[in-house]
Amino acid sequence: MMYFRVSFFVAALIVSSPGLGVAEPAEPTAANVLAQLFHHSELKTDSLPSCKDQYRNMHEKDRTLGRYLAEKIAPLEDEGDNVLRYSCDPEKGGGWRCSLEFQHNVPGKEITTMYGVRVAVDRNGVVQTKGLECTGLP
């Protein structure tokens, strides 16, 4: 019985000690963040200040995260140099602030479009839609 108590106590110390026995959560991947954003495709974004200007010619019912992403990803099928930029910065208290940008460069011209989203991802890798930002120029 004493062996069980000591083992339980040691295990509790290891689990509760930073850097011992508990791996830091892995930084979320671009595919994981993008998949979760698509999962929230019906989220209304026209009330978000950073997204509001992105909807100049779009019908009100289309002002959702899914439509925004679709409109920004679709030009990547055109001929040109297309780039997906992704980065995550650690946040205090755990989690990340991740940025996902879609860049399209028209060949032979100096036209570049770059749009995307910035979003918080908690320490479990779950996208938090509160505080989502649309990036790029309208």
pLDDT tens track for 32-61? 999 999 999 999 887 888 887 776 666 666
Q: Examine residue 46 and state whether it is found in any structural domain, yes or no.
A: yes
Q: Examine residue 7 and state whether it is found in any structural domain, yes or no.
A: no
User: Does residue 120 surpass a pLDDT of 90?
Assistant: yes
Q: Examine residue 4 and state whether it is found in any structural domain, yes or no.
A: no
Total domains present in the chain: 1
Domain range enclosing 66: 26-136
Question: What torsion, rounded to 10 degrees, do the Cα atoms 88, 90, 91, 92 define?
Answer: 180
User: Does residue 10 surpass a pLDDT of 50?
Assistant: no
Give me the pLDDT at residue 4, please. Answer: 37
Average pLDDT over residues 94-121: 88
Q: Examine residue 15 and state whether it is found in any structural domain, yes or no.
A: no
Q: Examine residue 1 and state whether it is found in any structural domain, yes or no.
A: no
Residue in the structure block whose two tokens are 């649309």: 134
**Which residues neighbour 121 within 8 Å (Cβ) at sequence distance 6 or greater?**
28, 33, 88, 95, 96, 97, 98, 127, 128
Give me the pLDDT at residue 58, please. Answer: 66
User: Does residue 135 surpass a pLDDT of 80?
Assistant: yes
Where is average pLDDT lowest: 53-67, 95-109, 117-131?
53-67
Give me the pLDDT at residue 57, please. Answer: 64
For 1-138, strand residue ranges (E) read 81-90, 96-105, 112-121, 127-136
- Give the HSE-up count for residue 62: Cα atoms under 13 Å, Cβ half-sphere: 11
Give me the pLDDT at residue 22, please. Answer: 58
Q: Examine residue 12 and state whether it is found in any structural domain, yes or no.
A: no
